[in-house]
Every structure is written in structure tokens, then in C-alpha cells.
Amino acid sequence: YLKISKLALAFAIIHSKPPGKSCKEYTEHLAKTVSEQDFGWKSKVEALEAEVLRLRQELLLNKICPRFCLENDASAKTLLHRECINSMSHSSQLEDSGCDVSNDYAFDSSSIASDFHQSEHSVDTSRHWLERVPPLNLCCSSKEESLTAPVQFLQHLLEIRKLSEGRILQADFTELENDSLTICNSVSRLLDGLFVFYNSPKFPVSNFLPEAVCVLISLLTDTKLSNHVLKKCFKKLEEFKKKLIQIILRNTSVNRFQALHAVSHTLVLLGRNNVLRKSLIPLLLSEIRQFAEQLLQAHQIQAMYDITQYENIFPLCMILEQLLQNETEESNVSSSDYDGEEKIKFLKNLDQIILYLSDEFPLFSLYLWRVNVLLNSAEIK
């Protein structure tokens, strides 16, 4: 049947071929036309899916708290348009090497942590925020704007939760059990949007990116909402962490250090969640161990090694060290949390690796030793 179909298509192309064009040229023209039509349909489907998700988000919020209405108004559109203009006016021509972050528009990922802590306080502030928060918006013409819909939905959800705890609003969160898929889809879109930026960042960065990270971390650290997220989105979060690690390892751009710092800081913030930290530590141990073994092998046979990959391994070492320190500082963490196949593989022959690499690669050896100390101290504790 397939052969007959191909033959019939070939005859149709030959008979309908306009004069002055070869069969190959005409076939390529038809293929291009069909692919353009497919792309148009895909974009329409994506827009409809986004609209369906927005309606589900609005319905869920209204079920949880009927007084919490999301209405499109001119002021919100003006705010979003102004943010878009500001980010574009400062953007594409600036290519920061990452060595100097003193200018006003440089990306400072440490602000994520301060914004995150500030967002955890003050019910009065929450009430004021509730009055001025912009509505959900689907007009996405840039990477930053593609995050607006999921971010603002999750912001609304977190604020309802906060205000209900302060007894300012009456909210029924039992609806989350029946419609947790909406939250899952929103988190999934947020993770996809963050990955798009981190994979090809533009400097300077809009203030909306740290806000998006703050919302994600706030959701994961919320005692009630995080259960629904982790239950449905754990695999997506695991994939997101793996992708961020690979972005760090594979980035060969000259201007990469500032971007890698932002990715590293996001991984550290994700590691604040106990469940995510327990799965993130083995991933980091595996990558660092494999690199250490490859570096040792290259050193023993006096072979060349990739200096870019060597530089990129240090952010992973710093992330791992910080996560292990966080683990040891928590009194409720038992030594069993450190047990696992990756820990055994990492510690095996580690002293020998450090001994051989210490003269040629002292800084990397020092990091290996510090990780070794943290793992062993946790076991002793």
C-alpha cells in the first residue's frame, strides 16, 4: 500500500508540474508549502492549548476562592508592555563577558535569594499585592513574556494560600486534589520557559526571570502546595535539574560565567527542597566522579584535556558542597540520607585520585577533598 501511494504521489507531481520547473524543484516547493501549513496549525494548536490552560487556571482559582477574580484590564497590559520595552531597550547589543557585574543591568542571581526571603513575610504586604497584581496574559513575544502566564497563576495561588492562613480570605484547597493537573501543567510550562532562557540567555536580564525563579521555589517550599507539585511534577523537575547540569557542563561560550552563575544559583535554590536535594546530590556526585576519572586518565598518559570542561566543573563542585553543608546543618537528617550507589562510587579510589591530581590540579583536588570530608563527616554524625 505504501509503495502504491508513493507511486501515485509521484505521478500526481509529474502531471501537475508547471512548465519550466524540474520534478525535484516542484517537489521541494510542495514540501515547503506543506511544512509551512503544518507550522501554522501547530502555532494555532499551541495558542488554543494555552487558552484552555488559562481558563482552567482561572476556574481553579475561582473554585478555591470565589472572591479572587482575574480580569484583563488596560493597566496590566500597559505594565507588561512597559516591561517588554525596558528589557528590549537594554538587551541585544550588550555581550557581557561575565567578569564585571558592576553595571546596573548585569544579572545578579543573589537577588533571587533576597527576593525569595522578602516574599515570605507580611500579610499586609500580601493584601496590597493582591490589589495590584497583573492578570494572566498569553501574549508571549519574548522569552521573558513566555513565563508570565504560569508565573502569575502560581503567584495568585500562593497569595490565596498566604491570605487564607492570615484569615483574610476563606479558601477551599480541597479542589487541588481534584484539579492538580492544572498546577502540574503550569509548573511544566514554567520549567520549559526557564530552560529556554538558561539555554540561550540574553544580557541584561529582565527582572521577571528572578521573579519566576522565586515563584517556583516558593511553590516547592510551601508545605501544602508542594505535595501536589512533587506528586505530579517530580519527573519534570528531575529532567529540569539534569538539563541545568548539562547546560553548565556543555557551555563553551566565552561569555558563559555570568550565565553559569545564574544556573548554579537556581540549582542551589532547588536543593532547598529535601526531596529534590536527595536526588540532586547523586546527579552531581556522578558528574564530578566521571570527570575526575577522565582527568586522571588524561594526566596519566599525558594527554590533552578540555580546559573549558575543566572550568565548567567548578560550579558543580560548589553546588555539591553547598548542598552537603545544608544537609549536615539540618538536625533532622540522618546518615542514611547519604547512603547510595553514587556515594560509594564517588568515595572509591578518591584518595588515590586526589593524590595523583594534587600537583597538577590543586584547586580541583581541594574541592574533591572538601566533598570527601563532608560525606565522611555526615556518615560519622
Report helix, strand or coil for 35. Answer: helix
- Tell me the mean pLDDT in the region 180-194: 89
Q: Are residues 213 and 296 in the same domain?
A: no
Q: Each residue of 11-29: pLDDT tens digit?
A: 898 888 888 888 888 898 8
Q: Are residues 187 and 260 in the same domain?
A: yes
Q: Are residues 245 and 284 in the same domain?
A: no
Q: Are residues 154 and 237 in the same domain?
A: yes
* ω into 204 cis (within 30 of 0): yes
Burial class (CB in 10 A: 0-12, 13-18, 19+), 164: middle
Could you give the CA distance from residue 359 to residue 377 in angstroms, rounded to a whole number?
A: 25
266 grid coordinates = 537556581
Q: Are residues 239 and 174 in the same domain?
A: yes
User: Cα separations (Å) of 149 from 44, 142, 146, 163, 259?
Assistant: 17, 13, 7, 21, 24
When the pLDDT of each residue in the chain is averaged and rounded to a whole number, the result is 77
- Tell me the mean pLDDT in the region 353-368: 93
Q: Are residues 248 and 293 in the same domain?
A: no
Model pLDDT, residue 205: 66
Q: Each residue of 280-302: pLDDT tens digit?
A: 999 999 999 999 999 999 988 88
Residue 95 lies in a domain: no
Residue 297 lies in a domain: yes
The radius of gyration of the chain from alpha carbons, rounded to an integer in Å, stands at: 26
Q: Are residues 246 and 315 in the same domain?
A: no
| Model confidence band, residue 379 (pLDDT cutoffs 50, 70, 90) | low
List Cβ neighbours of 68 (8 Å cut-off, separation of 6 or more). Answer: 61, 62, 156, 160, 169
| Model confidence band, residue 41 (pLDDT cutoffs 50, 70, 90) | confident
Of 272, 294, 327, at which residue does a domain stop? Answer: 272
| Model confidence band, residue 132 (pLDDT cutoffs 50, 70, 90) | very low
Q: SS3 helix, strand, coil % of the chain, rounded to 5?
A: 75, 0, 25
- Tell me the mean pLDDT in the region 22-42: 82
Q: Are residues 212 and 301 in the same domain?
A: no
Could you give the CA distance from residue 324 to residue 302 in angstroms, rounded to a whole number?
A: 33
Model pLDDT, residue 291: 94
Helices then strands, counting H and E runs in the chain, come out as 16, 0
Q: Each residue of 228-279: pLDDT tens digit?
A: 888 888 999 999 999 999 999 998 888 788 888 889 999 999 998 888 998 9
Q: Each residue of 45-87: pLDDT tens digit?
A: 888 888 888 888 888 888 888 765 544 333 334 433 444 444 4
Residue 52 lies in a domain: no
Taking alpha carbons only, the member of 155, 250, 161, 148 closest to residue 193 is: 148
Please give the residue range of the domain that contains residue 233: 142-272
Q: Which residue has the higher pLDDT, 173 or 219?
A: 219
Residue 17 lies in a domain: no
Report helix, strand or coil for 90. Answer: coil
Q: Which residue has the higher pLDDT, 108 or 161?
A: 161
Model pLDDT, residue 287: 95
Residue 125 lies in a domain: no
Residue recorded with cell 553559569: 260
Could you give the CA distance from residue 241 to residue 234 in angstroms, rounded to a whole number?
A: 11
In whole angstroms, what separates CA 235 from the centre of its chain? 13
In whole angstroms, what separates CA 79 from the centre of its chain? 25
Model pLDDT, residue 232: 85
Q: Are residues 300 and 264 in the same domain?
A: no
Share of the chain above pLDDT 90, in %: 25
Count the domains in the chain: 2
Residue recorded with cell 492544572: 182
Model pLDDT, residue 328: 77
- Give me the count of residues in the chain: 381
Of 272, 287, 302, at which residue does a domain stop? Answer: 272
Amino acid at 345: K
Model pLDDT, residue 8: 92
Taking alpha carbons only, the member of 184, 204, 191 closest to residue 266 is: 191
Model pLDDT, residue 226: 84
Taking alpha carbons only, the member of 109, 151, 100 closest to residue 268 is: 109
Could you give the CA distance from residue 160 to residue 166 in angstroms, rounded to a whole number?
A: 10
Taking alpha carbons only, the member of 112, 119, 140, 275 closest to residue 196 is: 140
Task: Please state the φ and ψ torsions of residue 307, each to the nearest 5 degrees.
Answer: -65, -30
Residue 65 lies in a domain: no
Of 234, 254, 272, at which residue does a domain stop? Answer: 272
181 grid coordinates = 493537573
Q: Are residues 151 and 245 in the same domain?
A: yes
Q: Are residues 265 and 336 in the same domain?
A: no
Residue 152 lies in a domain: yes
Taking alpha carbons only, the member of 221, 115, 218, 111 closest to residue 159 is: 218
103 sits in the region (left: phi over 0; alpha: psi -120 to 50; else beta) called beta
**For residue 351, pLDDT beyond 80:** yes
Q: Are residues 241 and 286 in the same domain?
A: no
DSSP string, 322-358: HHHHHHHH-TT--GGGG-SHHHHHHHTTHHHHHHHHT
List Cβ neighbours of 191 (8 Å cut-off, separation of 6 or more). Answer: 216, 233, 236, 237, 240
DSSP string, 185-225: HHHHHHHHHHHHHHHS--SSPPTHHHHHHHHHHHHHH-TTH
Element (H, E) at 139: none
The answer to whether 262 and 316 have CB atoms below 8 angstroms apart is no
Cα angle 73, 74, 75 (rounded to 5 degrees) comes to 95
Residue 109 lies in a domain: no
Model pLDDT, residue 49: 85
